Amino acid sequence: MNKLKREYQFFKQQTSNVRVLLMTNLLYAFVLPVVEIFVGAYVMRHTSEPVSVAFYQLFMYIGIIATSFVNGFLLRHVSVKVLYAGGILVSGLSMFAMMLVKSLGFVELGIAGFVLGAASGFFWTNRYLLTLNNTTDNSRNYFFGLESFFFSITSITVPLLIGAFISQIDGKEIMGCLIDINGAYRLVTVGVIVVTLFAVAVLWRGKFANPIQKNFLYFRFCTLWKKMLLLASLKGMVQGFLVTAPAILILKLVGDEGTLGLIQGISGTLTAILVYVLGRIAKPEDRPKIFIAGLLVFFIGTLFNGVLFSATGVIIFVLCKVIFQPLFDLPYYPIMMQTIDAVVKIEKRNEYTYILSHEFGLFLGRAFGLILFMALAFAISQDFALKYALILVGALQLIAYPLTRNIIKQNQTVR
């Protein structure tokens, strides 16, 4: 109990804006698993086609990049807090709009994905901007460690609770209304909207400033930022697969949404604690070690999935994925923000320039990964894509380690 009190006191020592951001992101952490897991599962259930999930996801990423671009113009006139709140709210509302769609052809999938991506674009770019401007390099390990702890815990509890809720309420009659599977999904989405309202209420307590310099659109960058964009593309490549692949694999080889949540929960608790401890005690120079540990775990998981391609292989892969994500994100975001601090000094540009450019880097990786999956699925087979595309992406991720070390070394020379 004394240790918990000490950790709480350490949290209280952070600036008011940092505490507000962490509490807002804690609440949004209850929303994100629904977006990442159950939207994919919802699309899979209604189309029975893994390629449809990938197609939906591709348009979601197009929506992210489109609104990230628009957001740069809006920041000239609208408070960053308002834009961030809008992204949080619209993410819940757009999910509800998708659930009301009667049929999910490719047109409907594209529109639904774009709308949800548009909401995510406002959320993520303004989140990066607020975090960048309200943290320092020394405090970012703690910030992202605690944030990863939130997201890891909710990635366990939310799928378990919602999976159990969907399986229990399906076919039940409530107040004279028969609840089918679609009705269960809609009830979940209503809950998401309520949580987003609480998140916005917390966010409103913060006092945040917009970028001073208004220009943000550039196409030529120094070598350091080009290296960061390559790293972002590698992250995006695996990110696209991690949103779609677990839901597709488990629904195909293991079971339903309840099983999906149960499998992710097995290793998530220990990983959440590990990441929090790392964020609390790790120094900036420890980031490459954490980074390579996550990369190796993910690659091993893809090998098990590809070689076994069975329920056992999927379980091992998902366990590795649960461990990999926070271990990867914990060092990645501080490195990204450290690089932005460096290139702002070099090129004297608006920091949003690099946040937008970073989204383009992520998009290129995401698009490549998803197009690779769809191309393999059409040209050979879906099973082949699910087996070997993941291994290829996992192997390419290993390039990120020497690249990361080089970026950190160059950042230190700028400082």
pLDDT tens track for 259-282:
555 656 666 777 778 888 888 888
Burial of 92 from C-beta contacts in 10 A (0-12 / 13-18 / 19+): buried
Check if the beta carbon of residue 169 is closer than 8 Å to that of residue 179.
yes
Per-residue pLDDT, 265: 64
Express each pLDDT in 354-363 by its tens digit.
999 999 999 8
| pLDDT of 202 strictly over 60 | yes
Per-residue pLDDT, 381: 78
Check if the beta carbon of residue 46 is closer than 8 Å to that of residue 101.
no
3-state secondary structure of 174: strand
Give the single-character DSSP code of 387.
I
Per-residue pLDDT, 224: 92
384: tokens are 């082949």
Check if the beta carbon of residue 267 is closer than 8 Å to that of residue 321.
no
Which residues of the chain form CATH 1.20.1250.20?
15-204, 222-414
pTM, two decimal places: 0.83
Check if the beta carbon of residue 256 is closer than 8 Å to that of residue 163.
yes
Rg, C-alpha atoms of the chain = 20
Mean pLDDT of 75-95: 83
Q: At what angle do helices 390-397 and 287-308 cross, to 10 degrees?
A: 160
Per-residue pLDDT, 361: 92
Beta-carbon count within 10 A of 63 CB: 23
| pLDDT of 33 strictly over 90 | no
Per-residue pLDDT, 46: 64
In this structure, is the dihedral angle defined by the CA atoms of residues 200, 247, 158 and 131, taken in order, positive or negative?
Answer: negative
Least confident of 50-59, 87-96, 257-266: 257-266
Per-residue pLDDT, 267: 65
Q: Where is mean pLDDT largest: 66-75, 150-159, 374-383?
A: 66-75
- Average pLDDT for the chain: 81
Check if the beta carbon of residue 313 is closer than 8 Å to that of residue 304.
yes
Give the model's confidence band at 44: pLDDT under 50 very low, under 70 low, under 90 confident, else very high. Answer: low
Per-residue pLDDT, 296: 92
| pLDDT of 215 strictly over 60 | yes
3-state secondary structure of 378: helix
Least confident of 136-145, 192-201, 220-229, 244-253: 244-253
Alpha helices in 170-255 (DSSP H): 181-203, 223-253
Check if the beta carbon of residue 276 is closer than 8 Å to that of residue 148.
yes
| Calpha distance 409→227 (Å, rounded) | 12
Q: Where is mean pLDDT largest: 12-16, 97-101, 248-252, 369-373?
A: 12-16
3-state secondary structure of 210: coil
Express each pLDDT in 373-399 by its tens digit.
778 877 887 778 778 888 888 888 888
| pLDDT of 123 strictly over 70 | yes
| Calpha distance 277→241 (Å, rounded) | 28
Q: Which CATH class is domain 222-414?
A: mainly alpha
Per-residue pLDDT, 335: 92
At the second CATH level, the architecture of 15-204 is Up-down Bundle (1.20)
| pLDDT of 230 strictly over 90 | yes
State percent of the chain over pLDDT 70. 83
| Calpha distance 191→94 (Å, rounded) | 13
Mean pLDDT of 340-351: 88
Apex 163 CA angle, 160 and 167, nearest 5: 140
Alpha helices in 100-222 (DSSP H): 106-134, 137-169, 181-203
| pLDDT of 322 strictly over 90 | no
β-partners of residue 173 are 178
Check if the beta carbon of residue 191 is closer than 8 Å to that of residue 169.
no
Position 237, amino acid: M
Per-residue pLDDT, 232: 93
83: tokens are 């834009």
Per-residue pLDDT, 98: 63
Mean pLDDT of 68-72: 89
Per-residue pLDDT, 228: 94
Mean pLDDT of 225-253: 80
Per-residue pLDDT, 237: 86
Apex 263 CA angle, 314 and 152, nearest 5: 115
Per-residue pLDDT, 25: 87
Express each pLDDT in 297-314 by its tens digit.
999 988 988 888 777 788
Mean pLDDT of 94-114: 70
End-to-end CA distance of the chain: 40
| pLDDT of 73 strictly over 60 | yes
Per-residue pLDDT, 36: 63
Check if the beta carbon of residue 134 is closer than 8 Å to that of residue 15.
yes
Strand intervals (E) in 38-80: none
H helix and E strand count, the chain: 17, 2
| pLDDT of 101 strictly over 70 | no
Per-residue pLDDT, 227: 93
| Calpha distance 229→232 (Å, rounded) | 5
Nearest to 21 by CA among 70, 77, 88: 88
Check if the beta carbon of residue 163 is closer than 8 Å to that of residue 259.
yes
3-state secondary structure of 213: coil
